[in-house]
Structure 1
Amino acid sequence: MLLSNDVLVRNNVKLIGKGEKTLFLAHGFGCDQNMWRFLTPKLLSQFTLVLFDYVGSGGSDISQYNKKRYSELEGYAEDIIEIAEVLQLSNAIFVGHSVSSIIGAIAATEKPKLFSKLIMICPSPCFLNFPPEYLGGFEREDLLELLSLMDKNYIGWADYLAPLVIGNGNSTDLIGELTGSFCSTDPVIAKNFAEATFLSDYRYILKDIKQPSLIFQSKNDALAATTVGEFIHSQIKNSQLEVVLADGHCLHMTHPNKIVDLIIEYANNDHDT
């Protein structure tokens, strides 16, 4: 069992801001807590923010990486629960990007008192197609090919995926940053996380979410079509869907001004709980 301080070091946890309400910010695959920097200046004036890195990402303690634990999203959810318990959080508001939306949902259903609301930025519970009832966007063979590319040409894989994730017409600097972030992650760890992200199916968990949830969806997202956001909205009983006229899978980086005020409004609206 890790001691409390070890948990905070393991996940490079940082607390900023002094607001009464706490926002727990969880970055997506191949990223780190620095990706929230476009939202934090406005958020920290009103909230206490919890920033962290998943093990294997950013400034986390890579020596704590356990391939078996992190072969499923539940392992990452366990980290979130441990961080929240060490910080003695209750009724915090979880903000997750992409796969972290689902990791947060796992944590929130397992320990419902930790989080009072969920805010999901470009979420997907399943990237696979199961026609006709669900289209996650990808055939299994295509995803296996993409994962295979990680072994054969990791730099090529990063160069291919980053523009898809950031989206057409968005900053080439952000594409370069994301490529660099992918490339700075240990390839073995990245592939394990990628398999847990892209080959899993967590559609079943959505109906178990009791917390009010705000879902942000890009109008044009190569990784998650608007039908995915609509599906999540249909499954979470108390949810709100905001489709943003934007390209890409990283609204918090490419269109922070379009979503930050909605995040603040939703977090402060006590009628939603």
Structure 2
Amino acid sequence: MDQDILVRNNVKVKGQGRQSIIFSPGFGCDQTVWKSVADAFSKDYQVILFDYVGSGHSDLRAYDSKKYSSLHGYAQDVLDICSALDLKETVFVGHSVGSMIGVLASLRHPEYFSHLVMIGPSPCYLNDPPHYFGGFQKEELLGLIDMMEKNYIGWANMFAQTVTNNPERPEVKLQLEERFCSTDPIIARQFAEAAFFADNRDDLKKVTVPSLILQCSNDIIAPAAVGEYVHQEIPASILKIMEATGHCPHMSHPEETIRLIHQYLEEASTAGSLVVRGVTI
């Protein structure tokens, strides 16, 4: 069964460290987006990479439209991987919706995780005035889903450009576009619906695992107000504003991403985990 899980999610393990660190991709991406960042941790950590079912080299036969109609299905896969590898006190690094998948996993089994690192997280993409600004009107997201159905290639081009929002790094936009186009359009659309119409705001205050929030500058997908909101709601959290622009700093600005994660983990280690399970000691 454990081997089936590792094959299902195309799990790759490398590195020499005692502590493990698992990298969770964002929407429409596979584990290859982490290459630059993950390699930098392989000397000090056991690095774990995986693909969501339906992306990368995962086992497409395992795709279940009911299970993956919500983020809870993806969170269960993360927990399955942790169980299969017998992980404890793992550093979880999630990008975008991968961050919320990590949140949901940590609520069910906090003992699996020592820290959550969230890159461009958003608990809710919809605006809910007057107290919450997620960045999108419902009509905009419905239009996005409709475009995926009618012109998937055109959507992939447009969305990759919106996500990166970085004209100086056109290669990152192309890399994202290629990954979107390599995913089955039906699976991609269902994942988009699960991600963009989720509302995990109430889950944030329940998080007990110490967390780092990395907020990019000029991020259209997860605006600065969202990063502030996540920080305010998660009790034991730290917010860092990045110089990196766009929504994919692990691809466009890997050096800054690596430095901030390393700094956070080193400070936590040096302090002897000053914050444990949301309590300052």
TM-score for both structures, normalised by structure 1:
0.97
Consecutive aligned runs of 4 or more in structure 1 exceeding 4 Å deviation = none
Asked if 1:219 is matched to 2:203, the reply is no
Matched, 1:26 2:12: no
Partner of residue 46, structure 1:
44
How far the C-alpha of 1:168 sits from its partner, in A, is: 2.3
Q: How far apart, CA to CA, are the structure 2 residues paired with 1:267 and 1:7?
A: 29
Instruction: Show the counterpart of 1:189.
Output: 187
CA distance in 2, matches of 1:79, 1:40: 20
2:196 corresponds to which letter in structure 1? F
Shift of 1:218: 0.6
Q: Could you list the per-position Cα deviations for residues 196-233 of structure 1 after superposition, in whole angstroms to 9, with x for gaps in the alignment?
A: 00011110100010011000001110101101000000
| Distance (Å, rounded) in 2 between the aligned partners of 1:201 and 1:94 | 21
Letter in 2 for 1:118: L
In the other structure, the counterpart of 1:13 is: 11
Contact 2:9 2:53 in 1 (8 A): yes
**Alpha-carbon distance, 1:245 to partner:** 1.8
5 Å-filtered alignment, 1:1-273, equals 3-268=1-266, 269-270=268-269, 271=273, 272-273=275-276
- Deviation of 1:259 after TM superposition, in Å, equals 1.8
Q: What letter matches 2:183 in structure 1?
A: T
Task: Measure, in 1, the Cα distance between the counterparts of 2:166 and 2:110.
Answer: 38
**2: CA distance between counterparts of 1:248 and 1:16?**
29
- Find the aligned partners of 1:40 and 1:80 in 2 and give their Cα distance: 17
State how far apart, in whole Å, the 1-side matches of 2:48 and 2:39 are: 13
2:82, 2:151 → 1: CA distance? 37
Q: Tell me, what secondary structure is at the counterpart of 2:110?
A: coil
Amino acid at match of 1:68: K
1:8-56 deviations in Å (ceiling 9; x for gaps): 0000000010111110100011000000011122111111111000000
Where in structure 1 are there 5+ consecutive unaligned residues?
none
Alignment check: 8 A CA contact 2:244 2:256 kept: no
How far is the alpha carbon of 1:264 from its aligned partner? 1.6
Deviation of 1:137 after TM superposition, in Å, equals 0.3
Unaligned runs of 5+ in 2: 277-281
What do you get for the CA RMSD once the two structures are aligned? 0.9
Contact 1:170/1:247 (<8 A) preserved: no
Alpha-carbon separation, structure 1, partners of 2:168 and 2:131: 32
- Kindly state the Cα deviation for residue 249 of structure 1 after the two structures are TM-superposed: 0.4
Report the AA paired with residue 181 of structure 1.
Answer: R
State the 1:267 CA deviation. 2.4
Q: What displacement does 1:246 show?
A: 2.3
Percent identity between matched residues is 46
In 2, distance between residues paired with 1:41 and 1:102?
24
